[in-house]
A and B are shown apart, each in its own frame.
Chain A
Amino acid sequence: MRDTLRGLRAIAAAAPAVGMVTCGVGGSSLEIAPVDAEPPRLEAAAPIEGDALVARMVPGEIVAGFAAFLDGIQTSKPAAYVRSGVPLVHGTVAAVIRERTARTLATWHGAPVVERRLYAPADLVGAELVDHLGAAGLSLVDTLDGKADTGARHPQELLALARTAVQRAREQAEIKLAEAWCLSERRPLYIDGGISGSGAAAKSAYAVGVVKSHKTLYASSGAVTVVTSLPKGARTTAFEIRSPRRTTVASWYLRLRDATGREPLFGLVRVEIASSAFTVAHADLVSRWILAERAPLSLPDKRWSTMAYGIRDCEEYLRAIA
Chain B
Amino acid sequence: MSILGRVVATERRPNTPHEFHFWTALDSPVGIGTIVRVEGLQPVNGHIPRVYGVVTEGFGYTDLESPLHDVLGHDGIPDDVAPTRRTEIRLYTAAVLRHVPEEPLQPVGMGTVFLASDEDVATALRMDSYLKAGAHTGIPVGLYRAGATKSPVYLDADFLVGPEAAHLNISGVSGLATKTSAVEWLLASIFAHFPAKKGRVAAVCFNVKGPDLCFLDQPASKLEDADLALYDELGVPSEPFRDVHYYAPYTARGYALNTLRSNEALEHNVHPLTWGLREVLQYAEVLLNKDDVDAKADALIDFITERVVNQDFTDPMLTGAHRVQSFGDLGRWFSELLRGMEGKNAESWRTHHVATIRKVRNRLTNISTRCRGLVTDDGTVSDLPFGQFADRAVYVVDVANLEEDAQDLIFARVVSQLREHLEKRTLGVEHVIVFVDELNKYAPSDGPDTYVRKMLLDIAERGRYLGLVLFAAQQFRSQVHRRVVGNSGTALFGRMDPDELATPGYATLAPATRTKLSTLEKGQLMVRHPHFAQPVFVRFPRPAVLSGREGVERFPQAEEPTLDAAITRSLRTLDRAVTLDWVQDTIALADEDEVLRARNRTLQAKPDDVRAYFRAQLKRRVQGETVPNRTRPALKTAPVDDPYGF
Chain A contacts to B: CB under 8 angstroms: 64, 66, 100, 103-105, 292-297, 299-300, 309-310, 312-313, 316
Contact = CB atoms under 8 A, between A and B. Distances in A.
Contacts of A309: 82, 84, 86
Most A C-beta atoms less than 10 A away, residue of B66, B82, B84: B84
Given A295-B74, A296-B73, A300-B65, A316 B87 contact: yes
B633 interface: no
10 contacts: A64-B84, A100-B84, A104-B84, A105-B84, A295-B82, A296-B73, A297-B70, A299-B66, A309-B82, A313-B84
Nearest to B88: A104
Given A295-B74, A300-B65, A316-B63, A100 B87 contact: no
B87 A295 contact: no
Contact of A294 (B66, B73, B81): B73
A48 B73 CA distance: 33
Going nearest first, the 5 A-B pairs with the smallest beta carbon separation are A64-B83, A297-B73, A295-B82, A295-B73, A299-B69
B69 A295 contact: no
A193 B475 CA distance: 65
B13 interface: no
Interface in B54-71: 63-66, 69-70
A260 to B, nearest CB: 15
B72 A297 contact: yes
A66 B85 CA distance: 14
A252 to B, nearest CB: 21
Contact of B65 (A100, A294, A299, A313): A299
Nearest to A65: B83
A233 B247 CA distance: 85
A310 to B, nearest CB: 6
Interface in B574-611: none
- Most A Cβ at <10 Å: residue of B63, B83, B85: B83
Given A295-B83, A309-B82, 11 more contacts: A66-B83, A100-B84, A104-B84, A292-B83, A294-B73, A295-B75, A296-B73, A296-B82, A297-B69, A297-B72, A316-B63
B225 interface: no
Contacts of A105: 84-85, 87
Nearest to A98: B84
Contacts of A300: 65, 69
Given A104-B85, A309-B86, A295 B80 contact: yes
A309 B72 CA distance: 13
Interface in B79-107: 80-87
Given A64-B83, A103-B85, A309-B86, A296 B70 contact: yes
A151 B85 CA distance: 54
Contact of B84 (A296, A299, A316): A296
Contacts of B83: 64, 66, 100, 103, 292-293, 295
A245 to B, nearest CB: 34
Nearest to B86: A296
B11 to A, nearest CB: 15
Interface in B19-76: 63-66, 69-70, 72-75
Nearest to A304: B69
Q: Is the interface of B mostly helix, strand, loop or mixed?
A: loop
Contact of A313 (B69, B70, B87): B87
A214 B64 CA distance: 27
A212 B95 CA distance: 47
Interface of B: 63-66, 69-70, 72-75, 80-87
A293 B83 CA distance: 7
A100 B83 CA distance: 9
A141 B82 CA distance: 42
Nearest to A292: B83
Contacts of A292: 83
Given A300-B65, A316-B63, A103 B73 contact: no
B94 to A, nearest CB: 23
A312 B73 CA distance: 14
Contacts of A313: 84, 87
Contacts of B73: 294-297, 299
Contacts of A316: 63, 87
B88 to A, nearest CB: 9
Contacts of B86: 296, 309
Contacts of A295: 73-75, 80, 82-83
A50 to B, nearest CB: 30
Contacts of B72: 297, 299
A160 to B, nearest CB: 33
B90 to A, nearest CB: 14
Nearest to B69: A299
B530 to A, nearest CB: 43
Contacts of A293: 83-84
A312 B69 CA distance: 14
A105 B87 CA distance: 8
Contacts of A299: 64-66, 69, 72-73
B84 A103 contact: yes
B329 to A, nearest CB: 89
A188 B355 CA distance: 106
A300 B87 CA distance: 13
A105 B88 CA distance: 11
B6 to A, nearest CB: 13
Nearest to B72: A297
B331 to A, nearest CB: 87
Contacts of B70: 296-297
B643 to A, nearest CB: 145
Residue from A66, A292, A299, A312 with most neighbouring chain B CB atoms (10 Å): A299
A81 to B, nearest CB: 31
A258 B72 CA distance: 12
A294 B72 CA distance: 10
Nearest to B80: A295
Contacts of B82: 103, 295-296, 309
A309 B83 CA distance: 10
A64 B73 CA distance: 15
Nearest to A69: B84
Nearest to B70: A296
B592 to A, nearest CB: 84
Nearest to B84: A309
Contacts of A66: 83
B287 to A, nearest CB: 72
Nearest to A102: B85
A316 B62 CA distance: 12
